[in-house]
Structures are given as C-alpha cells and as structure tokens.
Amino acid sequence: MPVKLTAPAANALLPVPGVQLGFAQAHVRKPNRKDVLVITLPVGARVAGVFTQNRFCAAPVVLCKTFLAENAGIRALLVNTGCANAGTGELGLNLAQQTCDALASLLNIRANQVLPFSTGVILEPLPADKVIAGLPAAIANLQEDNWLNAAEAIMTTDIVAKGTSRQILLDGKTVTITGISKGSGMIHPNMATMLGYIATDAAVSQSALENIIHFAVNKSFNCITVDGDTSTNDSLIVMATNLAGNAELCEGCPEFALLREAITDVAIELAQAIVRDGEGATKFMTVTVEGGKSEQECRKVAYAIAHSPLIKTAFFASDPNLGRILAAIGYAGIDDLDVNTLQLYLGDILVAENGGRAASYLEEQGAAVMQESDILVRVVLNRGSENITIWTCDFSYDYVKINADYRS
C-alpha cells in the first residue's frame, strides 16, 4: 500500500485557465478503465519537455522531441496507457504518428502540434485504432476541471492518483500551477518520471520555461528510484498558457525565482508521490548524503544505498541490519573514500563512525526508527561541501508479486 499517500480530492486540483482535459475508456489493453487522455492548450501556450535517456526510447518520445524542435506551437497532448509503444521500431513510429494525425484532424490543428505519450507494456505494437476510436469521447468531455480524471487516466500499476496544485502571486496576479504524474515501477528516471504534466497560466518566456523544467527535474524526478530501472518512456512536460495576465517572466525577472520554486515544489511532491506509491512499497526512505567532494559522488553513495536489494529488504522487515548500508557506501565507487572519517545516521541516531559501530549506538534505537514508515538515512562523508537528497522505497513481497504478474 502507498506510504502516507492518498489521492487528492477533486477540488484540490485547481483548474489552470486555458488547459482542458478529456478522457476516454478506449480498451487499449484492459476494459472499463480510463486509458486515453487528451489535453488541449490555447494558442500561444509555451511547452517544454524532458525525456528519458534510455537508448531504447519509445516511439512517442521520438515524436515529442521532433515536434518540440519544430516549434510549431503545441496545442494538444495525447496520452495512452496499456502499451508503451517502445521497442517497436519503424512500425511504432508510424502508429504514434497516426494517432497524432487523427487528433490533429479532429481538433483542426497540425499533427506536429500534438505531443504523444504512451505507457504500459514494452515490445508490443500500439493498438492505434483503439486509441483513435477513443478520441471523440475524450474530446467530448474536455473541460478545465478534469485534472483528477486525467490523473486517473494515466495510471498503470499506480494504486493512487497523483496530483497537486499551488497558487502564487506574480505581478499582482494570482497564478495557478497544477501537476499530475504517474509511475510506480521501472522508476529510476534519468530525466523525468514515466509521465508527469505540470501546467500553469503564468506568462513566461520559452527560455525561462526551459530553465525551470531543468531546474525542477534535477531537484525532483531525477532524485527518485524505486527499482533502478530507467524507463523507455519517461517524459515530463511543463506547459504555460500565458493567461494569468502577469507581465511575461524572463530568467532575469525579479519574480522568476518565485515561479521556479513553485513549479519545483509541485515537481518534488509529484516525484515523491511516485515513490510513496512505488510497487509494493511499505516504507518511504529519504537518503541524504552530505559533505562530499562533488554532487556526483554524493549521488553515487545515495543511489548505492537506494538500489541495494539487501538494504531495501531489511527496511521492509524493519530490521536495523545497518551493516548493509556501510557495505553499500563501501562499494559506491569512491576510490579514495576513508571509511574512518564518515558518519552514518538513521533518523537522528548516530549509527557508525570511525569505521565501525558508534559506541553510543544501541540496537533498540535503530529498531525504533525502523518501525516508522518515513525514514531518514543520512551519510556525512566529511570530505567536502556538496550534498544530495534522494527518495526511495523498500522492497517487499508485493514488489515481486506485482512484477511477476504485471502482464497477466
């Protein structure tokens, strides 16, 4: 079950002026579930995206990158679940293009104004005919107050729909930011989560929006892992409709940081929600590595901990078998690491220093922290001033069950 995560109330996801969302049950893979989502944007909206670095990136990712580069003015997004359209070669590109053509025709826009997204099983051809057959129903229910339905329409093994909103004042105008995401397994984004969509009505320049998306993704979706598998389909899109009435923000503008912080905050909440709803998760772990020589070496240590099946199963068992964390620090790949000068904390408890167990550490203390559902693992390297924080979850029977049964 998700760790301290519930679906947002429908009225908690605030409409973003200019952004309409419509869904359909198109039976892409399974009946009786929302599996197609259409998002429309007004003329003049700005869109930025970051995508998976997996070399086997999916056909829709290839098209998204192409269409964004063509800069034709994105007017719609089309998402399907049930099939990832990845590992599908030339045929996959053709099928994704067909869905864009169909939506463009129905909306009276051009195909390269439609960004396509798919998530689901890899290596199977996209049933484009089913997606296309679902489009009229999705278009028929397009409305601004449809974010929760949209969050539900993009779920796969997710248990809980994920979304959040913020409002800030820019230039005296109220600006809304609403985002949704999906993802539960194959989560180790190296650009973005499987799918994330954040919209705002703020007026913001294209280069400022690009700045924001890269800043936000590095603080959020690039700091989570469930199982260390980088998906073929990871995509994060940030959209700005320019309808809030504020003066257009540029990177040097006084209020730029306000918008960037608010969007980053939304991105972090959406990214953490993916971990809290990680496949089979029973614990949410924050791994902080401080005092490194570089952010990169902090990241190595943090991910060595976050990816270790031995550590993740110990957390599942609430067993303070903390030597496994020392082992992971030791094999993280810092060649000149001095194990005698680092400290390991579990929550506030000093567990290890001087190369071994801290004299003050009592097993009962570790056991007490391990009972909690939100746990902080903190490593202080004492060799520099860089640090990083990432989020992950434990490894349970249900992870195996979910992934052994996923296609059935």
* Pairing mode, strands 235-240 and 46-51: antiparallel
User: Is there binding between residue 229 and its own copies (CB under 8 A)?
Assistant: yes
**193 a catalytic residue:** yes
309 lies in the binding site for its own copies (CB under 8 A): yes
CA angle 246, 248, 251 (to 5 degrees): 125
**Residue 1 interacts with its own copies (CB under 8 A): yes or no:** no
For residues 381-400, which are near its own copies according to CB under 8 A?
395-397, 399-400
372 is an interface residue for its own copies by CB under 8 A: no
* CA angle, 203 then 117 then 66, to 5°: 70
Pick from 166, 283, 307, 378 the residue near its own copies by CB under 8 A.
307
Q: Is 331 in the site for its own copies (CB under 8 A)?
A: yes
Q: Do residues 181 and 274 touch, judged by C-beta distance below 8 A?
A: yes
Name the residue nearer to its own copies (CB basis): 138 or 304.
304
Which residue is it, tokens 């005919």?
129
Q: Which is nearer to its own copies, 18 or 120 (CB)?
A: 120
Task: Provide the β-strand partners of residue 167.
Answer: 176
Q: From the candidates 88, 193, 241, 282, give the one annotated as an active-site residue.
A: 193
Among 211, 288, 294, 321, binds its own copies (CB under 8 A): 321
For residues 49 and 167, give the distance between their C-alpha atoms in angstroms, rounded to a whole number. 22
Cα dihedral across residues 102, 107, 113, 117: positive or negative: negative
Q: Give residues 340-369 in contact with its own copies (rule: CB under 8 A).
A: 340, 352, 354-357
Q: Which residues contact 12 (CB under 8 A, 6 or more apart)?
A: 163, 164, 165
Rounded to 5 degrees, what are φ and ψ at 227? -135, 5
Number of residues that bind its own copies (CB under 8 A): 69
Q: Which long-range contacts (CB under 8 A, 24 or more apart) does 67-73 make?
A: 67/100, 67/112, 67/113, 67/114, 67/115, 68/115, 70/112, 72/110, 72/112, 72/113, 73/43, 73/44, 73/45, 73/113
Q: Which stretch binds its own copies (CB under 8 A): 23-31, 168-176, 180-188, 211-219?
A: 180-188
Give the residue, chosen from 94, 211, 288, 313, that forms a contact with its own copies under the rule CB under 8 A. Answer: 313
CA-nearest of 8, 21, 7 to 241 is: 21
**C-beta closer to its own copies: residue 25 or 94:** 94
Q: Is 154 helix (H, G, I), strand (E, B) or coil?
A: coil
CB 258 → its own copies: shortest distance, Å?
35
H helices present in 277-389, as ranges: 295-307, 309-316, 323-330, 363-370
Does position 373 bind its own copies by CB under 8 A?
Answer: no
Q: What x-and-dash track marks residues 182-221 binding its own copies by CB under 8 A?
A: ---xx-x-x-------------------------------
Minimum Å gap between C-beta 171 and its own copies is 42
Give the residue numbers annotated as catalytic, written as ranges. Answer: 193
Site of interaction with its own copies (CB under 8 A): 53-57, 84, 86-92, 121-125, 185-186, 188, 190, 227-232, 307-310, 313-314, 316-317, 319, 321-324, 326-331, 334-335, 337, 339-340, 352, 354-357, 395-397, 399-401, 403-408
